[in-house]
Structure 1
Amino acid sequence: STISQLREGLFGMLSILNDSLTRTQNENDHGSDNLIDSDDGFGSDNDPEQQAYLDELVSEGYDENMYDGDTDDEDADDINVEKNDEATKDITETNKILLIFSELHYPQEERFSELLVELQTKIAINTSLIDKILSKETTELPTHNGEIADLNEILNEVKGNKPIRKNVIFCTLAHTLSLQSGSELSVLQLSIEVIDHLLVKNHSNNITRGEQFQLIKLILPHLKTNKSFIDTLKAGNFTQKIDEGVTLRTMILSLLLQLFPLDYSMLGEILPTIARYSVRDKDLGVRDLSFQLLDQILRTYYNYLIGIDWEWYKDDFYQVLQETCIKKDINTNLLLQFPPYLPHD
C-alpha cells in the first residue's frame, strides 16, 4: 500500500544515512585523525601501530625511496577529500530529512520533539540543528504586561497596510479572544475580522507560521456554541431560541477555509475541535462548512496522518468524529472514505 511504501522508504533512507554516517565516522576516527603533515606523508612516531607497520615494511626489504616525493601525499589528500565530500553529502541529506520532518510535524507538538530527539540519536546529527528546528515552534503571543489598543483602531491599521505594531495587536487579540474575558459578541466578531486581514487579506504584515498558529489557537475555542449568545423569545405558549453566535462560528470556519492548505502542524488542534463541536452544530450552514473543511483536510493530508501517527488519527480524531455522528444521527461518507489504520497482528 501507499502507507507501507512511505514507511519503508522513509526508514530505508534513515537506515542508509545511519550506516553511511557510522562508516564515515569510523573511517575518520581510524584514518583522518592520525594523518599529519610530514615529509613522508605518514603519521607521527607517537602512533605505535603505525610505526610497527613501517618497521615491518623496511625489514621485509621495501625500498624506502618509494615513500619519497609527493605521490603518496597527493593520494592521501585525495582520500581525505573523498571522505570529507562523503561526510558533507551525508550531512546534507540528513538535514533534508530533518527539514521534511520539521514541515510535516506530529499533530501533537510534544511528540514531534521526541521524534527529533530520537532521530538525532539514530543518525548522530548535531544538537544545534535540532534546537534550531524546534525553536520554530516555540512562538508565543505576548500576553502579559502588554498594551491593549482599541480594536477599531487596529482594524483600520491593518486595513490601511500600515506598519503594524505586532505586540500591541497580539496582546489585544489574546485578551479579547480569551474565554475568561467574557467579550461581547461584537468584540469577538471584530477580533476575527482583524485576524482575517492579518492572515488572509493582507499578506505583507510578515506574520510568521508560529504566530499564525497561535492566532488560530485563539479562535478555535469559539467554535463551541456559546449559550450566552442564545436568546429565547416567548410569545404565549410559543418559545423560540435564536443563536446569535452563528455568525461568529461561520466567520471562523470561513477563515480556516480561506487559509487552506493549512499547515500540517495545525491539524492537531483543528481536527478534534471540528469533530467535537462544528459537525454537531445545530445550524446547518455551520455544519456544512465544517464538513467542507474536513473533506479538504482529509483529501490532502490523510496519508500523512495515517503514515506519521495513525494512533493519534484513530483515537483523537476519527473516534471523536464517529461518536459525534452516531450521537447526533449525522450521516457522512468521510468515515468510510478515510478510515483509521488497523495494524495486522
Structure 2
Amino acid sequence: MEVSSIIEEYNNAKDNDFRYMTLKQPVLIRSIQKDFDKLMANLYLPVLTHNVDSELQQLVSFEVLPRAVLSLFDSQVEEYNSNGLMWAYIERYVFYPIIDSLESGNETITNLLVQSLRNILNILISNDLNIKSVTRNDQILSDNYQSKYQDEEFMKLVSFMLKESQKETTVAGLQGYQETIQKLIEVSYDGRLRFLSPKALKMCIESLHDYEDYNTSSQMLLNKVIENTDIAAVAQTQQYFSLSNLKFMSKNWYKFAECCSGIIPKLIDEISKETEKSDISKMLEIISNLKDYLLQGTITNEGHPKLPSDLSILLLDRVLNILTNIIPSIESRDVINKHHNNNDLVTTESDTDIVVEDIDQQAYLDELDAGMSSNYDEDLSFTVDFEGDDTSSNLLEVTEEELQDIDIYNRDYDVIVKHSLNILYDVFLAERTGVIQFGPHLATAREKLNCIKSKVSDSNLDSKTFSLFTHFFERLEDFDRKVFETYEVLSIEELKTEISTPIPERKGAVVFTLIEYLGKDQVSLEELQSIIELIDHLIDVRVTDGDNDKYLSGNDENLIAEALLPHLRMNKSFVHTFKAGNISKKVDNGATLRTMIYTTLSRLDITKHLLVCKVIECLLHYGIKDKQDLIRDIAQSILKKLLDEHYEEILALETTWYSKYLVPIIAESTLPTNNFLTAYPPFTFHTVDS
C-alpha cells in the first residue's frame, strides 16, 4: 500500500479494529526522505505520542515500526546505495524524531518511545545492521559523515535518559534505559571512524559514579561506551575515572594508550599504602588489565615494553609484599569461617568459650585471651591488620550481626590473591623471556618468592586459597622447565614416524626438530617441502582432535610461525637460470614451496604481539610484492586476518610504528589502500573539546 493511502485510510477509520488492520498492512517505501519521513511524522509518532488505544501503540512499537525500519535496507529504497550516507539517513529520519519526541510526553509516553527505540535497535542488531556494515563491501563513509564526534542527538538521549533514570524506582526500569543507550552506541558508532566524544564519555561515567557494584547492564554500558571512545577522548577524561568504573573500563585496555603512563604508576604507588581491601583488589585488577603496557615487548621500543622497566620492578616488589603480609590475615579469616560454619562461635545467648577441635588452633586462640573483651558474647567484632605479620593481632571478636561482613573480606582476599599471583606470573614470565631486566633486584625477588612459598607450605590456608598458590608455583616451574628443556634433533624419517601417530609426550621433541630444520643455513628444497607437509599434518591433527595443546599448543604455533618468517622471501638458491644462445630465462623452483609456506602460515594462530608485528612487516615487504599472484592473495588475506584480530593492540602499543612506518608502505602498495586505511585507520593524538 502507498504511504499516502495508508495514512489516509488510518485517519478515516471509524474504530480501532479497522485502524489495527490498517497498521498491519504492508507499506511501500521508495525513499527514506520522502516516504518514511511522512510515515513517521503523520502516522507512527502520532500513534505513539497521543492518547490512543494501547493495543495500537504496542502494535506500532513492537511490530509495525521495527518492520518498516528493516524494510529501508533494500536496494529498491532510493537512498540505499548512497555510498556511506545510508546510516546518516537512518539516524536522521528514524532515531532523531523519536529522541526529539521524548521530552514532549508524559511518563507513559516516554517509556513507550524508549521501548520503541529499543525494539528498532534490537531488530537492526539481530540482522547485523549497523554503521560497521556501511564500511563493508568496499563502501566508504562519505566525508561529511566521517566526523570523529557526531553525538549531539546521542547526548540529548543520554542526558534525558539519565535524568529520567533517577526517577526509576525499579531495577528493570533503570536497566531498560541503560540497555537502550548501549544498543544505540552499538549500532551508531564503530570505534574506528565514529567515536563518542569526551563529553559523552564523561556524562556516562558520572552517571554511574555512585555504583559500587555495577549490575550487568551498567557493566555492559560502560564497556560499550569505552569501546566506542577514541584514545584521545579517554586520555582527556581520565580525571573523572573512579576505581569502580575503571575496574570495568580497563578491560578494554587498548583505549588507555595515552594515559597509561599516568594511571599505572599511581596505582602501583597506592597499593603499598594503608587502603581498604576492596580498593586494593580493584587496583590490582586494573593493573592486571593494563599489564601489556608494562610487560609486553614492542617493536617500537626494540623489544622493550611501552612503559619503563622500573615500574615493573616496583610492581613486583609491591605485590610480593602484599602476598607476604596477607597470608597471616587469610589464616585468621579461615579460623573465623571454620568455627562460624561449625556453629562454634558463641552468640549473645551463650556463655561458653570458643570450642576448637584443632589443638594448634586452640593454642593459637588461647594466646588471644588477654586481648579479648570480657563482654565477649555481647561485643564480638572482627578486624584484620593487613600490614601485620603477627597472626596474634589479626583475629579479634565477631558479632552475629557483623558475620555477614566476613563474606566481603572473603571475596576481597580471594580477589587480591588471584590478581597478585596473575601479575607475579606475568612479571616473571616477562623477565624470563628477556622483555624486562631485573638486574640486582632479581635475587631479592626470588628470596621473597621463596619465603612466600615456605609460608604457604607451613600455613593452615583453606583448600581454595592454598590451591591458588600451589597452581601459581607449578605454572612457574613448568615454564622454567620448558625454557631449559632440550631435545635431540630427529631425522626426517624419524620425524615422519613421530607425526604419523603423534604422541602428546613427544610433542616437545617434534616441535623442536621442526624449528631446527627451518632454522638451518643450508637446507634442500625437498627437505623444506617435507617439513612444511609435516607441519600441515600436525595442524590437521589439531583441528580434527579439537585439543589445541595436545599436539600443537598456542606457544608451539608461535614458535613455528617465527621460524617460517625467513622463508617468506624468495630464496635465490632455488632460482635457476637457463640459457639458450643469447636468451636466458630464470625459473623460480621455490615458488611452489613459498605458496605452501604462506598457506601454512595462514593456518597458524599467531598471538604474540611482537611476532604479529614481525609477520606484518614480512607480508608487506615480501608477500604482497611477490611475483606469484596466489602468494600475493594469501599474503593479503593473512594481513587482513592479523589486523582484524590485533588492530587495537597494535594501535595502543605501536602508535608511531603503525602510523609512520606501516601506513606509508600500505599507501604505496598494490593493496586496496582506501579499504585498508578505512578499516584500520592510523591514530593521531588530537585535542578535542570536552
Q: Secondary structure at the match of 1:73?
A: coil
Cα distance in 1, alignment partners of residues 635 and 415 from structure 2: 44
List per-residue Cα deviations over 1:147-206 (Å, max 9, x = no partner): 3333133224312345663454344323321242x1001101111112222234345643
Cα distance in 1, alignment partners of residues 411 and 506 from structure 2: 48
Deviation at 1:231, TM superposition (A): 1.5
- 2:542 corresponds to 1:217: no
Letter matched to residue 323 of structure 1:
I
- 2:383 corresponds to 1:38: no
Contact 1:141 1:170 in 2 (8 A): no
Q: Secondary structure at the match of 1:154?
A: helix
In structure 1, the partner of 2:684 is: 342
Q: Secondary structure at the match of 1:282?
A: coil
In structure 2, the partner of 1:263 is: 607
Cα distance in 2, alignment partners of residues 131 and 340 from structure 1: 42
- 2:71 corresponds to 1:71: no
* Aligned with 2:412 (options 87, 98, 102): 87
* Aligned with 2:641 (options 267, 285, 296): 296
In 2 relative to 1, CA 20–178 (structure 1 residues): closer, same or farther, beyond 3 Å? closer
Structure 1: stretches of 5+ with no match in the other structure: 43-66, 118-124
In structure 2, the partner of 1:194 is: 534
Q: Secondary structure at the match of 1:68?
A: coil
In structure 1, the partner of 2:598 is: 253
Higher CA-based Rg: 2
Q: Secondary structure at the match of 1:183?
A: coil
Letter matched to residue 159 of structure 1:
S
In 2 relative to 1, CA 215–329 (structure 1 residues): closer, same or farther, beyond 3 Å? closer
Contact 1:157 1:164 in 2 (8 A): no
Contact 1:24 1:83 in 2 (8 A): no
Contact 1:253 1:289 in 2 (8 A): yes
Cα distance in 1, alignment partners of residues 437 and 677 from structure 2: 30
Contact 2:502 2:551 in 1 (8 A): no
Deviation at 1:289, TM superposition (A): 0.4
Cα distance in 2, alignment partners of residues 340 and 138 from structure 1: 41
Answer with 288-297 or 18-27: which moved more.
18-27
Letter matched to residue 153 of structure 1:
E
Contact 1:141 1:211 in 2 (8 A): no
Cα distance in 1, alignment partners of residues 495 and 662 from structure 2: 38
Deviation at 1:93, TM superposition (A): 6.8
Deviation at 1:137, TM superposition (A): 9.6
In 2 relative to 1, CA 130–24 (structure 1 residues): closer, same or farther, beyond 3 Å? farther
Letter matched to residue 413 of structure 2:
T
Answer with 73-82 or 264-273: which moved more.
73-82
Deviation at 1:341, TM superposition (A): 1.5
Cα distance in 2, alignment partners of residues 89 and 16 from structure 1: 19
Cα distance in 1, alignment partners of residues 523 and 553 from structure 2: 26
Contact 1:232 1:239 in 2 (8 A): yes
Letter matched to residue 406 of structure 2:
V
In structure 1, the partner of 2:510 is: 169
Deviation at 1:69, TM superposition (A): 3.1
List per-residue Cα deviations over 1:286-332 (Å, max 9, x = no partner): 111000111112122212221344334345xxx24633763x66654
> 5 Å matches for 1:11-26?
22=273, 23-24=275-276
In structure 2, the partner of 1:152 is: 493
Contact 1:220 1:270 in 2 (8 A): yes
Cα distance in 2, alignment partners of residues 307 and 230 from structure 1: 41
List per-residue Cα deviations over 1:86-125 (Å, max 9, x = no partner): 53254167369859x96xx99xx755889xx9xxxxxxx9
Cα distance in 2, alignment partners of residues 184 and 167 from structure 1: 24
In 2 relative to 1, CA 97–155 (structure 1 residues): closer, same or farther, beyond 3 Å? same
Q: Secondary structure at the match of 1:71?
A: coil
Answer with 71-80 or 236-245: which moved more.
71-80
Answer with 84-93 or 150-159: which moved more.
84-93
Q: Secondary structure at the match of 1:233?
A: strand
- 2:648 corresponds to 1:323: no
In structure 1, the partner of 2:589 is: 244
Contact 1:310 1:341 in 2 (8 A): yes
List per-residue Cα deviations over 1:62-107 (Å, max 9, x = no partner): xxxxx523232345435883573253254167369859x96xx99x
Contact 1:276 1:324 in 2 (8 A): no
- Which structure would you say has the larger RCO, counting Cα contacts within 8 Å and 6 or more residues apart? 1
Q: Secondary structure at the match of 1:165?
A: helix
Contact 1:138 1:210 in 2 (8 A): no
Cα distance in 2, alignment partners of residues 94 and 142 from structure 1: 29
TM-score if structure 1 supplies the norm length?
0.66
Q: Quick one: percent identity of the two aligned structures?
A: 22
Letter matched to residue 599 of structure 2:
S
In structure 1, the partner of 2:628 is: 283
In structure 1, the partner of 2:168 is: none
Deviation at 1:17, TM superposition (A): 9.6
Cα distance in 1, alignment partners of residues 477 and 650 from structure 2: 20
* Aligned with 1:184 (options 515, 521, 524): 524
Cα distance in 1, alignment partners of residues 539 and 413 from structure 2: 39
Letter matched to residue 607 of structure 2:
D
Contact 1:200 1:258 in 2 (8 A): no
Contact 1:158 1:197 in 2 (8 A): yes
Q: Secondary structure at the match of 1:72?
A: coil
Q: Secondary structure at the match of 1:304?
A: helix
Cα distance in 1, alignment partners of residues 681 and 234 from structure 2: 18
In 2 relative to 1, CA 173–194 (structure 1 residues): closer, same or farther, beyond 3 Å? same
Q: Secondary structure at the match of 1:239?
A: strand
Contact 1:280 1:324 in 2 (8 A): no
In 2 relative to 1, CA 314–166 (structure 1 residues): closer, same or farther, beyond 3 Å? same
Contact 1:155 1:194 in 2 (8 A): yes
Deviation at 1:133, TM superposition (A): 7.1
Cα distance in 1, alignment partners of residues 417 and 494 from structure 2: 48
In structure 1, the partner of 2:655 is: 310
Cα distance in 1, alignment partners of residues 594 and 234 from structure 2: 37
In 2 relative to 1, CA 291–113 (structure 1 residues): closer, same or farther, beyond 3 Å? farther
Computed over aligned residues only, the root mean square deviation of the Cα atoms, in angstroms, reads: 4.6
Contact 1:298 1:338 in 2 (8 A): yes
In 2 relative to 1, CA 240–340 (structure 1 residues): closer, same or farther, beyond 3 Å? same
Cα distance in 1, alignment partners of residues 574 and 598 from structure 2: 18
Structure 2: stretches of 5+ with no match in the other structure: 1-194, 196-227, 239-248, 251-255, 281-321, 333-364, 383-396, 442-448, 454-468
Cα distance in 1, alignment partners of residues 562 and 633 from structure 2: 22
